[in-house]
Chain A
Amino acid sequence: KAGVTQTPRYLIKTRGQQVTLSCSPISGHRSVSWYQQTPGQGLQFLFEYFSETQRNKGNFPGRFSGRQFSNSRSEMNVSTLELGDSALYLCASRHAGGRDEPYFGPGTRLTVT
């Protein structure tokens, strides 16, 4: 079974631009979550989508948004990029929530200059 895939793996953007990251979950998994990892703040939850609906949201500004498609693939968008948005963005998928564990993708490393 293929794992969670994320594209692109690396990205360099300029302050003020916007960016879209993509995540394809493990086949059959309906829940997708996004996390931001930085040296200063560690791993922080951004949001979770289940069946195309946002089920939970972390404490991030409105510049961070996401969506999930009918095939469970998910995208997250960051508008008006700031230097502090430089991070590793990790996507995780799980079957439905509950007792199962999230499996993480390799991440997208975003650098904002």
Chain B
Amino acid sequence: AQKVTQAQTEISVVEKEDVTLDCVYETRDTTYYLFWYKQPPSGELVFLIRRNSFDEQNEISGRYSWNFQKSTSSFNFTITASQVVDSAVYFCALSETLNTGTASKLTFGTGTRLQVTL
């Protein structure tokens, strides 16, 4: 069975601090996809990034960066110079791969609530 663990339930930082959100996953699939989503108070899940199991390159997008390490089954997310607008719940997710090789359902972690204050 697939599993995603986000051990940090809640993190509070002061604006401009860097913050890293941890994600550890378990899967028996050799091909899989990992995702990060942001959920602001409005409730909609906003897609941030997708990473497939064959691509261990780290990625940077503006103030956001992701560190994928297959050896430790981790896919961590760092926000540099955090801002108040970053306050939200962040979810890490892992896709299940069907027998056809198609990615299907997402298994989500329990989420990390990030509070950025002035």
A residues within 8 Å of B by Cβ?
A: 33, 35, 42-43, 45, 48, 55-56, 58, 88, 90, 92, 96-107, 109
Q: Are A56 and B104 in contact (CB under 8 A)?
A: yes
Tell me the dominant secondary structure on chain B's binding face: strand
Q: Is B13 an interface residue (CB 8 A)?
A: no
Total inter-chain residue pairs, C-beta < 8 Å:
62
Chain B 57-82 residues near chain A, CB threshold 8 A: none
**B43 near A88: Cβ-Cβ < 8 Å:** yes
Cα A104 to Cα B37 in complex, Å, equals 10
Picked from A58, A88, A101, A105, the residue with its CB within 8 Å of the CB of B35 is A101
- Contact string against A for B residues 79-118, beta-carbon threshold 8 Å, 1 for contact and 0 otherwise: 0000000000001010010100111111111110000000
Q: How far is the CA of A101 from the CA of B50 in the complex (A)?
A: 7
